[in-house]
A and B are shown apart, each in its own frame.
Chain A
Amino acid sequence: MFYILKYMTPVVPSLGDFELAVLLSLVSLDEAYGAVIRRDVSERLDRDCSIGAVYTTLQRLEEKGVLRSWATEPTPMRGGRSRRCYALTRTGARALREARAPRERLLAELREAM
């Protein structure tokens, strides 16, 4: 039964708006880690996001297989703490491509409705 359930789940996960903003940040940033992602997402969404919201989303996306993470070497600038960097996976790239079509449809309908 678990085998069937596993293959019933979509291969490419659907993305929410905040998740989409986080993934777009990952694509645009050279070294994507919590603080810079938070700033970038805040600029994209035009509202100040909390670091907790960003990390919760990053973790959820990692569990979906959309991105991967690794720890860098500890730096003195951060009090000997390491950064956790994030990068898109192939599944993530596909999820980004597939996020476009439904949003374009919705936007088209919105333009008609207004």
Chain B
Amino acid sequence: MIEGVAALIVRGTIPDREIGDAVLGDLLEEHAEVAVARGRFAADGWLAWQLVRSFPYFHQVGRRAPATLRDTGAFAVRFYRGALLVNALGLGGGLVIVRAWRDWPAPLVVAFAVAIGFVAGHLAARLLPRAPLFVALAVGTIAAATAGSAMSSGAIVVSALRVAALPCLALAAIGGGLVRVRALLPAS
């Protein structure tokens, strides 16, 4: 179970497949060693803790620095195009939710937030295959922040269930990204 989660996180966050394979192999090798020495439960805990601590680094691993001016230009174009897309999906998702927030009953808003988050996260991860989990997380966060700021402006009546839609939205976006990452995993 935890090995599968590790594979998903590594595949979803490390852009370079070769480096991702090496990192995953190292993690699973140490996990097996810890399992022999201290038991399966301790090994799973060790792996989970490694993943949590390594998560902020994974996006940098495997990302090569641009070598030439032309590469730098191409990198800048890709970066801004990606950033624009992530922001558009996040803002769009957030605004659609705010629209729904106004008229719909709270349980329906939560369901709608989950659906919008999932679709936006999945789309972003599909369109930006380098580090899809980070992209999905960014979309979810932007969408949740947009909806949250509209709520805090006082324009919308807030109930606990409506507030609960915000983290649901962000988590659903990651879920959408994860589905995409699963498709990127090798068949074996």
Instruction: Verify A35–B60 contact, CB threshold 8 A.
Output: no
Q: A52-B53, A52-B55, A78-B29 are in contact. Are A59 and B188 (CB under 8 A)?
A: no
Which of A15-23, A80-88, A92-100, A104-112 is the contact stretch?
A: A80-88
Distance in angstroms from B135 CB to nearest chain A CB is: 18
Instruction: Verify A33–B26 contact, CB threshold 8 A.
Output: yes
Cβ of B73 within 8 Å of any chain A Cβ, yes or no, is: no
Instruction: Verify A59–B54 contact, CB threshold 8 A.
Output: no
A39–B33 Cα distance when bound, in Å, is 12
Instruction: Verify A81–B24 contact, CB threshold 8 A.
Output: yes
Q: A39 — which chain B residues lie within 8 A by C-beta?
A: 30
Binding site for B on A (CB under 8 A): 2, 33-35, 38-39, 50-53, 55-56, 59, 63, 71, 77-84
4 pairs of A and B residues whose beta carbons are closest in the complex: A52-B54, A52-B57, A81-B25, A84-B22
User: What are 23 A-B residue pairs whose CB atoms fall within 8 Å in the complex?
Assistant: A34-B22, A35-B26, A35-B30, A38-B26, A50-B50, A50-B53, A50-B57, A51-B30, A51-B50, A52-B54, A52-B57, A53-B54, A55-B22, A55-B61, A56-B61, A59-B62, A77-B29, A78-B25, A78-B29, A80-B188, A81-B28, A83-B26, A84-B19
